[in-house]
Structure 1
Amino acid sequence: MTKARSRATAPRYAVGALATGTFGTVPGLLLLYYLTNTLGVPAALASAVVILPKAWDLVLHPWVGRRSDPWGPGRSSRRTWMKSGGVVLSVTFALLFMAPTPAGTPSALWAAIAFFCCATAYSAFQVPYLAALSEIAADAKERTRLATWRTMLYGSAILLSGALAPQLVFRFTDERLGYALVGVIFGGLLLAGTLAAAHSVPPPRKKTAAAHRPMTFRQQLAVARRSSAFRCLFGVHLAQTLATGIMLAAAQYFATYRLGDPAATTTLFACLILPLLLTAPLWQRLGHRMGPQRSLLASILCFVAGSLALAASPVLPAAATFGCVAVCGVGYAGMQTFAIALLGQTIAQDAEHTGGHNRGGAFTGLWTAGEVIGAGVGPALFSLVLAATGYLPSNGDATVAQPGSALTGVLLGVSVLPALVLVPALFCAWDLCRSAAPAPTARRVTGHPARRTSLR
């Protein structure tokens, strides 16, 4: 790839992160409330509508990964998977928020089918999208640059969708009309992002390897186990997904019970996500100087430091508390950037060892499944801390005074718990640093020409 073409490819590829950030944010913010407060779906049934597609993802992501890898002549390329997934995702996302059905169970059924189709289409895009990084970028420096662009646009999508979607909904007296507008606008954004990213992926080669059977799930796991680099990266990825899931779940509790201002959740959210835009280019420069492995370790330490500092928030001014969250956000930017860059490097190295057979989908299918696990288990871990420390539930009509143990649980859940979850990630990142350390090179002995030693 020429330098000019590479520079044009980076933003086009990164635009796919607009789809990633949008689809990860809007349903999380609005779907449950849309079901219970607009479509009249009972809470238990609404919960099932939201959760069941996540369970489907655990099976679907690895399968898409195996099938989207090139395994014979005439088979669909990653570009085809991404384009097809993007088109279906944009349509079904719009339909998800345009339910024409009566309130209650019919609307729950409509939303369940639409959200299930959304999850399936998103997998068809996201898994090959991550795998394509190794095919677009030729070296570690270029992978880091592409990952930096992706991190910045990912943060932009989260902030844009998180701020704009609720405003669009409640702009209208008829909430159904507001939700329909959200579906159309963000469905269009999903379409633009997925198609732009798909066209950044090179088309399949005309000369394709001989056909062979796509690997089974057991073979996929075996491929992942044999790659020590992927095992370490997966450990980092799972831990950072857990840690961020915990912090996002804890934000509202922390704002309400420790900061005394429920509206401070928005500021906490901005402090965590804004650094994705502002510091990703700085991490890129650091990565070029230190290497992606050491930079990944530094970013984890940064997140851990900010998280632990939050434990002192009862004696800190509010500005310092928000600053601690911003430090976590800086670390999060680095973890996002270097984990993706090193994943692309791992896939490229695996392709070299297999004679050019790219098995990137096998890796990214498991990678995205791990993301689903982390996003679901993180809030559950925080919930266990609340239960263990005696948190008292309420029905929303009156404020319940929490015991001191529950307030301590909220504080530990937002500070110490994410740091503890990231301890295994530190060891994984350290192993990556050790494996990337250059072998010592012999020095040429200087001095009189007759006494110089020739090194072979």
Structure 2
Amino acid sequence: MADQLSTSLKVGWGFGSFGSITMMYLTSFFALFFMSTFLGIDPAIGGSILFFTRLLNIATDPLIGLWSDRTNTRWGRRRPFMFAGGILAGLACISLFNVPNFESQSLLIAYLSVVMVVYFTAYTIFNLPYLAMPAEMTQSYHERTSLMTWRVIFVSAAGFAGLWLAPTIVKLAGGGRGGYETMAVIMGFLLMASMIFAVFATRNAKFTSFEVPNYTLMEQIKTAAANRPFVLLSVAKLIQLTGLACTTATLPFLVKYGMDSSTIPGWLVALGIVSLLSAYGLILNGASIITLPIWTYFAKSMEKHHLFVIAIAGYGICGLTWWFADLSEPFIVYALRCIALGIFTGGVLLTGQSMLPDAIAYDHVRTGLRREGIFSGIYSFVEKIALATGPLIIGFLLSFMGFVESTGESVQQSESAIRAIYIGIGLLAPFFALASIPFLLMYDLTEDKLQIDTA
């Protein structure tokens, strides 16, 4: 088959997801917690920093996407951007958690804001061209699903790195602020290496070099908005990822203040599972990888958006069980919840990621234009807004209900503050996940429709 991709190419491209998703894990899970418990920043202010620094990418995302669309080099349109983004991402990661001591909190907030702008811009420079590649690499509906299977594998690997390796490094490095500093250096070099590896591993990937008509950015966005499947998928992902961001922002607070890590069996501690957070990362991502072939099998016999609905419904229902978690919960119950969430997470990742290049390919069918970058830019903007809104909601919720920030010392949180944590992860997060389903039910891009329109 002309559009069939080699396994080495799929693996090489998928490897890039390890770096970009690790970046998201580090900020989504640890940034708000780090600022509130080690830098003495009020959760509402920390959430606002995360929100507004991501909001600045409103302009950069579509512009970088459009820039990559109009770039022609011997490396193709995408890989030069990926290389630059990978280098910058590693340096920004190190700077994010290695924070100088400032005399005033205003200078501290200014430093964090600048570093986060650089951090999210680096993510954009790498991730937009990266996500634009699959629609160029193959025109096969099912081959894109196979390609995304490898992406999900490395997304899960990033979950291991972000939720098991990172907190383990923090603990082994002595914990506290110093532990986070060491973790950032190691993780920064790891994510940089994976991004650069993907650049060279995709050197033989098919790429297009069609001239894009000289439309303005607003004209590009206007015509992109006429792509109904893309719009519906973007709205669904906006809502769904906002719920995911509520989970990731809240979970470190939950395992510290609302649950008991001493319930972890000794044999798991001996394997390096030093906290409930690292157990979450290991079990959830393990379940996701193990069940991925099952989701891939059904993706070949069912329409992807139908499978997406099943996966997100299961994920949302399982998420509601966080409301009933407490200090007395046995570890086996916690582990079973993580397994169930991991199973459905694999389905959500596979179907959602494979539907994006389908929707982008549909634009080429409709218009004859090659503008994968602009679509990836819009999609990345949606992703960033969602991942910024979650911490903003949680930050204000914690602050409103009396959470006390600290600079590393032990703080006894009020019952109201603890309740805010459960509201965030056990009610708000599942609500957003389930609220995305109506938009997925309206999605109508099928394999048959794509083939008919192509013909």
Band of TM-score, shorter chain: 0.7 to 0.9
Aligned position for 2:453: none
Aligned position for 2:67: 67
Contact 1:49 1:112 survives alignment (8 Å): yes
Contact 2:173 2:182 survives alignment (8 Å): no
Match of 2:341 among 328, 331, 348: 328
Contact 1:259 1:318 survives alignment (8 Å): no
Structure number with larger C-alpha Rg: 1
Q: 1:90 to 1:384 in 2, by over 3 A?
A: closer
Moved more, 167-176 or 181-190: 167-176
Distance in 1 between residues matched to 2:36 and 2:65, nearest whole Å:
34
What SS class does the counterpart of residue 127 from structure 1 fall into?
helix
Aligned position for 1:277: 289
Deviations 1:262-313 (A, max 9, x none): 9534434444443332222221111112132221111112112212344555
Deviations 1:230-289 (A, max 9, x none): 111112211221121122233245446664559534434444443332222221111112
Q: Does 1 or 2 have the higher relative contact order (CA < 8 Å, sep 6+)?
A: 2
Match of 1:342 among 350, 355, 359: 355
Distance in 2 between residues matched to 1:3 and 1:219, nearest whole Å:
31
Aligned position for 2:7: 7
Aligned position for 2:412: 399
Aligned position for 2:266: none
Aligned position for 1:160: 161
Contact 1:77 1:203 survives alignment (8 Å): no
Contact 1:249 1:379 survives alignment (8 Å): yes
Aligned position for 2:246: 246
| Letter paired with 1:436 | T
Q: 1:104 to 1:63 in 2, by over 3 A?
A: farther
Cα distance, 1:377 vs structure 2:
1.6
Match of 2:383 among 365, 371, 379: 371
Q: 1:410 to 1:35 in 2, by over 3 A?
A: closer
Distance in 1 between residues matched to 2:390 and 2:95, nearest whole Å:
29
Aligned position for 1:419: 430
| Letter paired with 2:437 | L
Cα distance, 1:57 vs structure 2:
2.4
Distance in 1 between residues matched to 2:98 and 2:393, nearest whole Å:
34
In the alignment, structure 2 segments of 5+ residues that lack a partner are 263-274, 450-455
Distance in 1 between residues matched to 2:390 and 2:112, nearest whole Å:
25
| Letter paired with 2:359 | T
Contact 2:244 2:433 survives alignment (8 Å): no
| Letter paired with 2:318 | G
TM-score when normalising by structure 1: 0.78
Moved more, 224-233 or 302-311: 302-311
Moved more, 338-347 or 168-177: 168-177
Cα distance, 1:146 vs structure 2:
1.4
Match of 1:436 among 429, 446, 453: 446
Contact 1:96 1:110 survives alignment (8 Å): no
Does residue 150 (structure 1) correspond to residue 151 (structure 2)? The answer is: yes
Q: How does 1:22-421 map to 2 (within 5 A)?
A: 22-28=22-28, 43=41, 47=46, 52-70=52-70, 77-94=77-94, 103-104=102-103, 113-169=114-170, 171=172, 182-199=183-200, 200=202, 202=205, 204-205=207-208, 208-209=210-211, 212-213=213-214, 215-216=216-217, 218-255=218-255, 259=259, 263-311=275-323, 313=325, 319-355=332-368, 357-382=369-394, 391-394=401-404, 397-402=410-415, 410-421=421-432
Deviations 1:372-391 (A, max 9, x none): 11112223334566678xx4
Contact 1:68 1:76 survives alignment (8 Å): no
The aligned length equals: 427
Contact 1:241 1:375 survives alignment (8 Å): yes
Moved more, 129-138 or 174-183: 174-183
Distance in 2 between residues matched to 1:84 and 1:250, nearest whole Å:
32
Q: CA RMSD in A?
A: 3.9
Contact 1:307 1:325 survives alignment (8 Å): no
Distance in 1 between residues matched to 2:142 and 2:206, nearest whole Å:
23
Cα distance, 1:225 vs structure 2:
1.9
Contact 1:69 1:362 survives alignment (8 Å): yes
Cα distance, 1:145 vs structure 2:
1.3
What SS class does the counterpart of residue 415 from structure 1 fall into?
helix
Identity %: 19
